Amino acid sequence: MSSPTLVLASTSPFRRELLGRLGISFVTAAPDTDETPLPGEAPETTALRLSEEKAKAVAKDFPQSLIIGSDQVAVLDGKIYGKPGTHERAVEQLRAMRGRSVNFFTGLCLYNAATNTARTVGIPTLVTFRDLSDEEIENYLRREQPYNCAGAAKSEGLGIAIIARMQGDDPNALVGLPLIALCTLLREEGVAVL
């Protein structure tokens, strides 16, 4: 019996690159999901819910597959900072976060479409930002253009220069795909990574 197809429910080149590091075969699919938090929803719940919704959104096209969904939110003072989308919103986000510690919470789901079972985990990463000047924020945003990254922070690129410290269990979680947790979930589904 052959192994199920592994599907990454994401169009993110960063998540694709991270999953590629494991050296296992996979395909990607674009999930069509509304990423708006629900009224009164806790940020951690948002990330977990969206990671599962993304995985399930592509299941109809991959009914016998294991599907990986992931979502990330940045949280400061109880407020969610998602993908800024524009330069102006990215400036606002980084001004609010400079000199502060921000919790980046990454939700991860491994959905078995054949059995209709979902395993979800959440991985927090505490990121302390440097006390950036307005000029540094502008320089960073012009060079990196991280408008599709939660909190406008792209740690896998030039964004590492705006960070003073990171604390977490998985360095890949901040990029958007916690590989340590994913390896555990894959093993539980009988997929050999090694």
CA distance 127 to 130: 10
Instruction: Judge whether 194 lies within some domain.
Output: no
In a domain, 179, yes or no: yes
- Higher-confidence residue of 100 and 176: namely 100
- pLDDT, one tens digit per residue, over 13-36 is 889 999 999 999 999 999 999 988
The answer to whether residue 100 sits within a structural domain is yes
What integer is the mean pLDDT of 40-64? 95
Domain tally, the chain: 1
Name residue 70's amino acid: S
Per-residue pLDDT reduced to its tens digit, 114-139 = 999 999 999 999 999 999 999 999 99
Q: What is the value of pTM for the model shown?
A: 0.90
DSSP E strands in 47-90: the ranges are 66-76, 79-81
Domain of residue 37, residue span? 6-188
Which three-class secondary structure state does DSSP give residue 133?
Answer: coil
Per the annotation, the verdict on 131 as an active-site residue is no
Residue 128 within any structural domain of the chain: yes
CATH number for the domain spanning 101: value is: 3.90.950.10
What pLDDT, on a 0 to 100 scale, did the predictor assign at position 2?
Answer: 52
> Is the pLDDT at 78 greater than 90, yes or no?
no
The answer as to whether 125 is a domain residue is yes
Task: Flag whether 193 is in a domain.
Answer: no
CA angle centred on 28, ends 167 and 84, rounded to 5°: 50
Q: Is 93 among the domain residues?
A: yes
Residue 43's alpha-carbon distances to 22, 124, 179, in angstroms, are 29, 11, 21
Indicate which residue of 32, 34, 61, 71 is catalytic: 71
Asked, for residue 176, whether it belongs to a domain, the answer is yes
Would the CA dihedral through 107, 108, 114, 116 be positive or negative?
Answer: negative
